[in-house]
Amino acid sequence: MMYRSFWKEGLLVFSFFIVGFFNSSAQYSLDYAVSTAANVGNGTFAPYYLSANKHGLVTHSKSGYLRAALSRDIEKDKRFSYEFGADLVGLLSSTSPVSYYSDGAVRTRNPGVSSFLIQQLYAGVKYRALFLWAGCRELTDEMVNFELSSGGLVWSGNARPIPQVQAGFIDFVDIPYTKGNVQIKGNLAYGIFTDKKFMEEHYNYYNSYITTGVLYHRKTIAFRTNPDKPFVVTVGAELAAQFGGTQRYYNKGVLIDSLTTTSPTRFKDFLQILIPTSGDEQTNKGDQAYYYGNHVGLWSLSADYKFKNGSSVRGYFEWYFDDASGMGKLNGWDGLWGVEYKSGRENWLSDLVVEYLDFTNQGGPINWCPTDYENPKLDVYGNGFDNYYNNYFYNAWVHHGLSNGTAMAKALLYNTDGYLKFKHNRIRAFHLGALGYIAPEWRYKFLASYRTSWGCLQLPLADTQHDLSGSIECLYTPEKLRGWSFSLSLAGDLGELYGDQWGVAIGIKKSGILKIGK
């Protein structure tokens, strides 16, 4: 009911902006984009680089879609401005089998793939430096290069968008009395996960739990030095959370009513998720012992140097944490470490990204905290068994089966046994991304990674599994056909983690600007 209500209200707000727009006598511009894409491969799932960081649109080996989008962007140079957008997708896709328990036997189902998706639908306003928008839109991690990076660690743009209401600074703004040498940016959001049907269709109903009806919260803050200087430093923090929802336990297909738990969503709980504190007697025991909800976060730092010839080099890291021990950086080298080079020109190597990802420490293999189930505090030493992206109440940090954080952690979509958690979150990976121009109308993009998985601390592998993934994409944007682009991608995986598989994808897109009004 809450999901339906959200979309009804969202459609109402969107309609208000559309009506106001077309009734105006002034001339406005609308951005439009119509595209189609298709991929085919030899496996059950699409090769890693055909599906990773695609906002959840490409998952299986054989799929295709037709997409149409219409939007108006906020004008940042005006005191007051507004925006809206709609992005609709018609999708056809192959499926993957999922094992589940029913009527005393293990059975197999092939969950369907939606033939129609509202990928984006939003409306927002801006006044001076502040913004407010509501709806569903594709978001990414601003610290990393979305096209070439392996992805951010809290919200990467790998999974389907989450409907939400978000407010904050539209861009970095000067902090008073710093003479423009220090700027600040931040935002705050509340939303709802819309993957209830997906979770129910992919759960095995055997001997574990499923949690649905989950709410979403995210907040970010960042400080930046003067961007007009050659050397720029940005420091930031990000914290996201799952809260609310109902957890149900099953034993061989039978619901255990006595173990069903609903996490409260009172007004004070929305404040508790904003400023994390322990739950009360109405929350589950885990939330009473630690903090209400499931929190994931990171610290980030980047340093960018611009050369006089227009090129630049940037180093950055994201330190991931699942609890207070990781927040205090008691999880070793865990995090994403990267270097990016930009030539500043459209030449044979316009952009290069090299990254190292480490998720092997996780605070240590054994959980230890002297105040467990008493009075945990940030100043008390506690560590171990962080089990990144997994949670005792909320299954995992996923949306529609894909990781909200780094796509490098193989998410539960790939669990054909119906297990609703990450099996491969203890990983170490090297990633390379490069982009350049063969000719003015021809652009290439190359992605490659090597990954080692130890499984997870809860379900360690008897032996490590490895994966080598790569892709090459060629994009053609003919000058004589303004707004048109044509792409061809080849990708493959080699190793035990995803299996030996290959795939090819093609895409056609037409984009431009519509002028409406006097």
CA atoms within 13 A on the CB side of 431: 29
Overall size of the chain counted in residues = 518
The per-residue pLDDT for 285 is 81
Does pLDDT of 388 surpass 50?
yes
> Are 439 and 456 contacting, i.e. CB atoms less than 8 angstroms apart?
no
Closest CA to 433 of 485, 471, 388: 471
Buried b (16+ CB within 10 A) or exposed e, 341-355: ebbeeeeeebbbbeb
**Number of separate domains in the chain:** 1
CA distance 52 to 179: 41
Does pLDDT of 384 surpass 90?
no
- pLDDT tens digits along 101-147: 988 899 999 998 878 999 999 999 999 999 999 999 999 999 999 99
Does pLDDT of 29 surpass 70?
yes
Q: Which helix (H) or strand (E) holds 173?
A: strand 173-174
- Long-range own/partner contacts, residues 192-197 (CB < 8 A, 24 or more apart): 192/2, 192/3, 192/6, 192/162, 192/163, 192/164, 192/216, 193/162, 193/242, 193/399, 194/3, 194/160, 194/162, 194/163, 194/399, 194/400, 195/160, 195/398, 195/399, 195/400, 195/401, 196/3
Residue 2 tokens, joined: 């809450």
Does pLDDT of 366 surpass 80?
no
CA distance 140 to 136: 13
- pLDDT tens digits along 52-69: 999 999 999 999 999 999
Q: Which helix (H) or strand (E) holds 8?
A: helix 2-23
> Are 379 and 353 contacting, i.e. CB atoms less than 8 angstroms apart?
no
Does pLDDT of 25 surpass 60?
no
Average pLDDT rounded to a whole number, residues 160-164: 98
> Are 37 and 507 contacting, i.e. CB atoms less than 8 angstroms apart?
yes
Residue 518 tokens, joined: 């006097």
Closest CA to 238 of 310, 176, 320, 166: 320
CA distance 241 to 262: 16
- pLDDT tens digits along 276-290: 888 888 888 888 877
Distance between first and last Cα of the chain: 42
Q: Which residue has the higher pLDDT, 518 or 415?
A: 415
> Are 149 and 47 contacting, i.e. CB atoms less than 8 angstroms apart?
no
Closest CA to 498 of 102, 18, 51: 51
Closest CA to 445 of 485, 388, 411, 490: 490
Phi, psi (deg, nearest 5) at residue 42 = -95, -10
Q: At 99, is the secondary structure helix, strand, or coil?
A: strand
Does pLDDT of 344 surpass 80?
yes
CATH number at residue 70: 2.40.160.130
SS3 content of the chain, % helix, strand, coil (to 5): 10, 50, 40
Mean residue pLDDT of the chain comes to: 91
Strand partners, 85: 71, 122
The reported pTM is 0.91
For residue 150, give its domain range. 2-516
Strand partners, 339: 315, 354
The per-residue pLDDT for 277 is 85
